[in-house]
Amino acid sequence: MRQWLGYALLYLCLAFVALFQIFPLIWLFLFSLKDNAEIFSGSPFALPSDPQFGNYLTVWEGGIGLYFFNSVWITGLAIVLTVLFASMATFAITRMNWKLNKLVLGLFMVGLMIPIHSALIPLFSMFLSVNLIDNPMSIVITYTAYNLPITMMILLGFYYTLPREIEEAAIIDGCSIHRLFFRIILPITTPIMSTTVIINMIYNWNEFVFVNTFISSDQYKTLTVGIQNFIGQYMTDWGAIGATLIISVLPVMIAFFFFSNKVVEGISSSAVKG
């Protein structure tokens, strides 16, 4: 009886925490179905009296589809480059013997200590000199560079646990270093790579400062910056902003829902050495 009460109390607490975390999403969805008059005159927790599903049509006609597409391909390309380069660098540092591997690793880790805002002016000046201002490649390059250190730090623990016998057997069979990496090491590291993909996706998808600084044309803006189009000097369509936020949150939630087990598996596998 005591054990049953303990489990009941535990699940009750977990249910309360889950409800506490889900409630903002429910509130945001209800917010997106209201017009300005209902938002400011009624209770913020009340159900919409006349659901304004047209808010989603309004944001789509306002260019949200283009912003969504930009977020998808910029985020996807930056993730591919970051994970690939980080995997290559981690493989070279942890699995290959050369004199400066510790120094190179330290240089990568220094990137974790560089605040984003302190690099805005140097990056802007550099991209301006090479004509990459108002070019989406400036965002891709910045995302890739800034996410390399944290991605490598996550990969390091997993790479150190890989048995040397696998590589030795492959090399004895005539496998080259490039084939060893792409055909053997990368497939083995799929669980931890899923973790890095989710972390990179959350950062890239929600990033605002770099896009707002380097991009000025509407055709290259992402969702986080494009939402400003619904904020006017004299009038702001808050229902449309709520609809935009719902659209921007959905991809991250869907990705995490499908990859949550891989994330837990990757974190646990990289935390245990030996």
Going from N- to C-terminal start, the domains of the chain cover 62-271
Phi, then psi, of 246 in degrees rounded to 5: -65, -45
Supply the Cα-derived Rg of the chain in whole angstroms: 23
Q: How confident is the model at residue 273 (pLDDT cuts 50, 70, 90)?
A: very low
Does the pLDDT at position 71 exceed 80?
Answer: yes
Dihedral of the CA atoms 111, 113, 114, 117 (nearest 10)? 140
Q: Is the domain 62-271 a CATH 2.60.40.3080 member? A: no
Tokens 């959905």 correspond to 250
Q: Which two tokens stand for residue 153?
A: 């730090």
Mean pLDDT of 19-29: 87
Percent of the chain with pLDDT over 70: 92
Q: How confident is the model at residue 274 (pLDDT cuts 50, 70, 90)?
A: very low
Mean pLDDT of 222-250: 78
Q: Give Cα 120 to chain centroid, integer Å.
A: 20
d(Cα 244, Cα 55) in Å, to the nearest integer? 9
Q: Tell me the per-residue pLDDT of 122-163, one tens digit each, with 9 for 90 and over.
A: 999 999 999 999 999 999 999 999 999 999 998 988 888 888
Best mean pLDDT range from 53-67, 211-225, 230-244: 211-225
> Which pLDDT score is estimated for 87?
93
> Which pLDDT score is estimated for 160?
87
